[in-house]
Structure formats: C-alpha cells, structure tokens
Amino acid sequence: MVFADKGYASADNRCSLGEKGLTDGIMYKAAKGKELTPAQKLMNRAISRVRGKVERAFGTLKRDYGFQRARYLGTLKVKLEFLLTAMAFNLKKAALMME
C-alpha cells in the first residue's frame, strides 16, 4: 500500500498505482464547494493513523538528528547518511524500550 497526503490526490496517481498492482492509500481531497463523503472521511482517518506514525519518525530525525538538509553531495552519500542516521534512531529507540 502506498500512503500519501491529499496533495497527491488525482485520478492519474490512483490509476497508476492500480496498474502497478499497488493499493491506493492516497488521502481524499474535497472538490471546491463540496464535502467529502462519510466513506472518504473514514478512509482519510484510517490513512492518517498510519501516516502519523511514519511522519513522527521523520520529524524526530529532523528535529533531534539534524536531518533537515543533506551534508554531502551525491545520491549514494546521502543514502548512506540517511541509513546511518536511521540506524542511530532505531538503536536509541530500542535501548529506551529495554529500560
């Protein structure tokens, strides 16, 4: 399942996920002057619960680990930097769970 905020809500994005065999987890966006249906509101709430947990981790990486901007040039170096930062985050989280 691919989760995304309502900035990515378009028929093209939803179709392309379906063509690739992926489940649509894009939040629904109301059209101008119209409200979302109760089913769409319920779906948005379910998607928000999952996205909130992931976004919280990214927020912690940015706030506490200084991952707001890449320090290195090149995709491989930035990927390695992110991997090491995420490992440090997970190790610290695991150590706190052991207490």
pLDDT in tens, 56-79: 998 999 999 888 888 899 999 999
Q: What is the pLDDT of residue 29?
A: 94
Extract the residue ranges of the chain whose pLDDT is less than 50: none
Domain count, the chain: 2
Q: What is the pLDDT of residue 92?
A: 93
Q: What is the pLDDT of residue 85?
A: 92
Provide the domain limits for residue 43.
1-68
Residue 46 and residue 4 share a domain = yes
3-state secondary structure of 1: coil
Prediction pTM value: 0.68
Tell me, what DSSP letter sits at residue 73? Answer: S
Q: What is the pLDDT of residue 68?
A: 86
Residue 80 and residue 59 share a domain = no
